[in-house]
Amino acid sequence: MSSSEVEESGGLVERAKADREAKRNWFSRIILFIQQVIAELKKVVTPTRKELINFTIVVIAFVIIMMALVWALDQVFGFITVFIFGTPLG
């Protein structure tokens, strides 16, 4: 992060504190909020193609593992329910 970005976001924070102390009107607080959002969005880093592929693989693997876990628990609870209450209807 460059020093200008730190100074820019730090300046907005200082303005926010001063704004809070000054109890400015709602319109100036909205403008300050939008300026802070824009300053935060400038800090966002877009992942590289390799990172994006890795993140996608991790998410898909996690979803598959969670689906398997939920399926296994469903089978176990179904078996327990049939064991306690008798044969299933269908």
pTM of the model: 0.54
Band the pLDDT of 52: cuts 50, 70, 90.
Answer: very high
Band the pLDDT of 47: cuts 50, 70, 90.
Answer: very high
Residue 41 pLDDT > 70: yes
Q: What is the three-state SS of the chain?
A: CCHHHHHHHHHHHHHHHHHHHHCCCHHHHHHHHHHHHHHHHCCCCCCCHHHHHHHHHHHHHHHHHHHHHHHHHHHHHHHHHHHHHCCCCC
pLDDT of residue 22: 62
Give residue-wise pLDDT tens across range 62-74: 999 999 999 999 9
pLDDT of residue 19: 62
